[in-house]
Structure formats: C-alpha cells, structure tokens
Structure 1
Amino acid sequence: MTLAPFCPTTDADPFGPEILEDPLPFQRSVRDAGPVVYLSRYDVYGLGRYAEVHAALTDWQHLQSAAGVGLANFRTEKPWRPPSLLLEADPPHHDAPRHVLEPILTPRALRALRPAWLAAAEQLVDEVLRHPGEIDLVPAVAQAFPLRVFPDAVGLPEAGRENLLPYGDHAFNAFGPSNELVAKGLPRIGEIAAWVNAQCARDVLAPDGFGAQIWAAADRGDITHEQAPLIVRSLLTAGVDTTVHGLAAALHAFATHPDQWDRLRADPGLARIAFDEAVRWESPVQTFFRTATVDMRIGDTIIPEGHKILMFLGAANRDPRRWADPDRFDLGRDPSAHVGFGMGIHQCVGQHVARLEAEAVLTALAARVERIEPAGPPVRHHNNTLRAFAALPVRLHP
C-alpha cells in the first residue's frame, strides 16, 4: 500500500480501554491531525472532522456498506451472522427493506403509540420515586423503559426480553476488532442469537406490531418471505441498545447541567431537542466503517480501493469547525445536523422511535423531578462501537 504524502499516522488503538473510557482527547488529536489519519494498527483510514464524516456517510456509491460497517471486510471474511439488510447492504439490495420499514416507523405512524408510551413513562417514574435515596438511572430508567415499550411495539412476547441487551452489546462489539470485549460475549452468543432469531418468526409475533407489518409486506410481495425475519432482526439488533445509551446520555447530561434541566422543566416541549443534543454531545454510536469501491481522494490522501475507512461520529459531533462551543450540552442550539444517527440512505430508520421514547421519559421526569443530583461518579460500560454507561448513581429530588 502507498500512503499519499503528508497523511498523518497514529498507532493508537481507538478500541483500547483507555480511549473507550475517555475518547475525547484521541478524537481531538484525530481532528487536529487533518482530514484523514492512517490508523496503522488496523490498516484503515480514520475521519474525525464533521465535513469529511458527513460526506463519507452520504457517498454510498464510493464508500460501500455491503462489505460490512465494522472492521471485518466481508469481501474477504465471513460475517458471524447474516449481514443486515439495512446496515450492511447498498442499492439496489438495500432499497426494498428500507422502503418497507420507513412508513411503519414515520412520526405520523408512531403517533398512535404516543399516549400509551407517555403513560408508561409516567408509571415508570412514579415507581422510581417510591424508593427515595440513591438510584442507578441505567437499569432503573434507561434500560427499563426501552425494554418495556419497544419489544411490545415490535410484537415480542414477554419472556426472554433480557436477552436483547447482551445480544445488542455483542453485535456492536463485533463491529470492532476481535478483542476481549468480543471474547466476553462469545460463550453465550449462540444461545442468545438463537432466541433472537426465533422471535422473528411470524407465529411468534403479535398481530398488531411492527413485526407483523413487516411480514404483511412480504405477503404483498414488497419483500421476500426470507427477508422478513432478517428485517425484524435488524430492528431488535439496533433498536434497543442505542436507545438505552441515548437515554442514559441525556440523563447524564441533565445531572451534570442543572441549568439545562431547569430549562427543560420550564419548557417540556424541548424534550426532543434535548435528546438530539444529548446524542450529539455523547454520540452513543461512536464509530462506523465503510469500504472504498474505487481509489478515492479525501483531502491529500488517496484511499485505495478495497480499504476500510473508520468514521469517528463522536469526533464529528464535537468538531469546532461545525459546532460553536461543541463540548457544552446546550438546549439553545439546533443539533439536528448531528451524525449520531448517520446520514444519507443508511441514516437510522428507527430514530423517530428513539425520539418518542426519550420524549416520554424526559417529559415524565421533568414533571415530577426538580433536580437530578449526582450521587457518585458515573461508571462507563466499554463497547467497541457504543459510548455507554454501566451506572449513573443519582438522587432524584421531587
């Protein structure tokens, strides 16, 4: 391989424990180094600036997803599970599954769920407030609410839902290198994946959920009956962990920015903006890969055909070239251009579901909680792709 002149190089490991614990200094160094940085440890090219990341996300013709959105190159390596028909496919194979899901998950289609989800959030917050003293917001709220409402919306039975979090955790770890984070999930992943796959069958799903609507699309001929369970599986893979960590990011932001919590309490209509600002600020999905389909120039660097690029979404979302005072969590900014949900044809199809879940939780909390007081340092959960919390100890003051 020939590197273009002046391409900065680093041997730092973006999937190492120190960087996963606090990626901000590394992300700053990547942005400052230039438009492209060569990551010698993995023989990939990294993008940390907003302009280049945004351009890469939208250029599916030259930077494909079909070779895998993780480090593994599907041109030369067999994936551990069948590739996602949404994340790991490009047109024309990507089109039909996307077109089936989009009308199911639009804000208008989700409007019918809003009253029930708002009521469920109020009930959850009431349950939490019955136990005064220190509480961990990760299991009590950030995990509890998505696991309560999202599987219902898909049409899953109650039993076994606890499998969704370790399955998603392993799936997102597998986008990175085969390190100890991947190894810790291997002993149970066969059993858990079998459970997830079983939930995607038509006769398991409730007749009025997202899953049943996907199967109905197969009956209409919009997709094949072989594709239907894979699309349901994509929802279950990407629809829980990302929302859990997005909610945790918002709760952490408000615990550490009490002035912004006061702002939300004064105007609960800011709940959705608050969630998007939290996604920008923390970037629960930190990284995604693409593969060059041709030799292509980014800045002064030629990315060779067949090579991977690593897009640092978290770095782009704090790029001072795009955002004023990017390290501040601020409900006064317009965060709508963040890349936390991706961009272009692969932009997260379930983002409106996540926003509705967050709106329900934040609105219920804002109506009942005057102050979120940190009760100890937050504890990070390391994942090769996700910026996550293991614990958020707080005291809630009604």
Structure 2
Amino acid sequence: MTATLEPGTALPADDADPFSHEVLEDPLPLHAALRDAGPVVHLTRYDAYAFARYEQVHAALVDWQGFQSGAGVGLSNFRYEKPWRPPSLLLEADPPRHDAPRRVLAKVLGPRALRRLREAWFADADILVEQVLAGPAEFDAVTALAEAFPLRVFPDAVGVPAQGRENLLPYGDHAFNAFGPSNDLVAKGAPRVAELSAWVNAQCARDVLSGDGFGAAIWAASDRGDITPEQAPLVVRSLLTAGVDTTVHGLSAVLYAFATNPGQWRRLRAQPSLARVAFDEAVRWESPVQTFFRTATTDVRVGEHVVPEGKKILMFLAAANRDPRRWADPDAFDLSRDPSGHVGFGMGIHQCFGQHVARLEAEALLTALARRVDSIELAGPTRRHHNNTLRAWESIPVRVRVTED
C-alpha cells in the first residue's frame, strides 16, 4: 500500500485494491498511505484517481460541474456502460435533471415533516429499548437495535406495507456493492437482484403506499407538476435505497463507539442533548459511506497534476474524515469535538437528502438508551460486514448494565 511515482511524472501511483477484503476489513492503512502520497493518487488497478485528503474530497463534492455524478457514482461509467437499474434522479444526476427531484425531497423531508414524526419516533425508541432490556444483558447491538429501529420506523414513514420489509437490507447491500468493481461481493448478490428489484419497484407505486407518508407526498408533488409521474417512483426508490442501510450502519457505528469509549457514554448520559453530536461524530469517525466516484467532465487541475477528462475519481470520504490536516486527534471519538463539516453525508448539491431523518432516528434511539443504560461494553468479538461502499457491521455483541428504577 505504498505509493510510487509514475515514470516521467510526479504523480503518485498505487496498485492497491480499495475493494479487497483486506482493505474492507481495515481501510485505515490504505487511507493513511493515500493521504501521505499527495492530493491525488493514480489507482493503477482501476485507472482511477484517488482523493483522500479533506481539501480535495470536499472540493470535488461541491464541484458538480467539473466532477459529474451523471456518469455514475460508482466505477461503472454510464457514458459507455449501461447501468444495472435506471439511475437515481438524486445521486446519479446533475442539474438541470437533478433539480426538481431534489426540491421535492427537500420539502417532503423538511423540518415540518420531521417535527410531526419526532414524538412517535421517540416513543417507538422507548418501546424498542424496553423490549431489548427486558431480555438478557448481553445481545447483538446490530440486530437488536441498529437494524431493528430503522426497519421499525422508516418504512412506516415512507408508507411501505409491513410485508416484505426484510428485502430492504439485502437490496441496499447489493446497490452499494454495485458502486464498486464486479467482484465477489457483487456476484454474491446477483442471484437475487431481479427478485429484490421487483419488490422494491412495486413498493414505489402510488396504490401500494399509504396515503400519509413520504411516498404519498412525492406522488402528490407529481400531481402538482413539480415532477413527472415517471419520476415519482424513482424518487421513492431513492428513499428506500439510501434511507435504510446507511442509517443502520451509522447507528452501528455510534453504538460501537460508545461500547469502546465508556467515558464518552458517561458524557452522553450526563448530557443527553449531545445525542446528535454523538451521531455526527460517529459518522465522521467510522464513515458508514466510505467512498463515492465522480467523473471528470474536462481536464481538471488538482495541485500540480491533471485529472484527464472522462476519468473516474474515487473520493475517500472516510480518509477525509480522519485527515489530520483538518481534524485534531482524528482517530479519537470525542463528544467535545465539533464534527460539523465532515463529509460523511457528502457536500454540495448531492449532499445526503435524508441526513436529518437519520439524525432524528439516532437522537431518538440514543436518548432512550441513555435514559436506561448505565454502561455498555463489548461482550465478545465483533464482526464486519464487507461491502464495496459501506463500512458496515455484521455483529457487535454488547453487555449492558441497566439503570435501576
């Protein structure tokens, strides 16, 4: 994972595979090597250009004119390759095609909508936590909490029927794997792609969704002419694709952070209003979304080097979020830090449209836990879930000590 200089140029080059199981298990050494090598590194294995420092990642995220999303935010280049599904109108589109769907979602997921959900989600979090704490003191935080809570509240908010919700996680897992190369992780999900895609697409239809959720509000926007009837199901699909897995792994990240940093858990218990700060700090620290690609629309100068037109760049969001040039003591999970400015939700016009929804889910769950749990610690070996794009957990066994009533 040591970068070298390409012959005849000063451009650092690295033949590492960011999507190998070794790197997916522990990406930090590669991230450090890429940051140290320079502002841009040629990844020779994929003929892509890596940005791992905060300055360059942030700049690329906000420069949609120079680094487009419309050619795909994965390794596949939509200029030449057919995508495996119709591209996302939010994630894989640029202005002007991106604008109307973005405006609709900004309203649908706006502060008023979240205020209506707040009381119900806090109550749901209390119920879930009480159910979990009524059982053994040792349990898996991933399945019992990080997966259970989003699957409990978010599909309800969208208006998806209860039956079949177990399809959401494997569908999202494959969607995020598909942003990487066609490796064994993509092959693993391939047998179920048609089945899962058909189920998700069916949930996006107007007559399947409940009349009072985010999905119905998106269809109502099409009735007003804000988007077309053809766009409406694709916007709903974006919610279902991006709104579950990322939140699950963000919650897993913050629960792991507290299980391994008891002093920070005590700080949260003493000041529960830090719940949102804790979630954002965990997103910075663990970066559930590790990478995204862009495509250069012209020759783009980065420092002393040029990224050629048409080439893919790979933005290492996770590396930027631990760049010591931007963050003091970046490897520490610290609730006294101001994590705002992290790129875990992206930046610019393609910044995650559901980030405030995820923050509300995290605030509800962490507040309920802080009220009832004195301490949380690891109870056994943890296990990662490998994904080409996501930093995910398969299992986090924890032991809790419950507050006596």
Matched with 2:131 is 127
Partner residue, 1:313: 317
**Pairing 1:244–2:252 present:** no
Aligned to 1:393: 397
Q: Is the 8 A contact 2:137 2:401 kept in 1?
A: no
Residues 1-398 of structure 1 aligned to structure 2 (within 5 Å): 5-398=9-402
**CA displacement 1:141-166 (0-9 Å, x = unmatched):** 00000000000000000000000000
- The letter for the 1-side match of 2:299 is D
Kept in 2, the 8 Å contact 1:137–1:392? The answer is yes
- Aligned to 1:370, the other structure's residue is in SS state strand
Question: Offset at 1:5?
Answer: 2.3
Q: Is the 8 A contact 1:3 1:302 kept in 2?
A: no
Note the alpha carbon deviations across 1:302-345, whole angstroms, 9 max, x for none.
11100000000000000000000000000001001000000000
| Structure 2 segments unaligned to the other structure (5+ residues) | 1-5
Work out the CA distance in 1 between the residues paired with 2:369 and 2:259.
12
- Of the structure 1 ranges 245-254 and 97-106, higher mean CA displacement relative to structure 2 is found in 97-106
Shift of 1:38: 0.5
Q: Quick check: 1:271–1:359 contact (8 Å CA) kept in 2?
A: yes
Seen in structure 2, the aligned counterparts of structure 1 residues 136 and 90 have a Cα distance that, compared at 3 Å, is: same
Answer whether contact 1:378 1:391 (CA < 8 A) is retained: yes
Paired position in structure 1 for 2:3: none
Deviations 1:111-148 (A, max 9, x none): 11000000000000000001123200101000000000
Secondary structure, in 3 states, of the residue corresponding to 1:390? Answer: strand
Q: Is the 8 A contact 1:86 1:94 kept in 2?
A: yes
8 Å CA contact retained: 1:5, 1:301 = no
Task: Report the Cα distance in structure 2 between the residues aligned to 1:319 and 1:311, rounded to whole angstroms.
Answer: 13
- Asked whether the 8 Å contact 1:118–1:364 carries over to 2, the reply is yes
Once superposed, what is the RMSD of the aligned Cα atoms? 0.9
Aligned residues: 397
Contact 2:290–2:316, Cα closer than 8 Å, also in 1: yes
TM-score normalized by structure 2? 0.97
In the TM superposition, what is the alpha-carbon distance from 1:107 to its structure 2 partner? 2.8
Amino acid of the residue matched to residue 208 of structure 2?
V
CA contact (8 A) 2:173 2:245 kept: yes
Percent identity, aligned pairs only, is 74
Give the alignment's TM-score, normalised by structure 1.
0.99
* Cα distance in 2 for residues equivalent to 1:220 and 1:106: 18
Deviation (angstroms), 1:4: 8.0
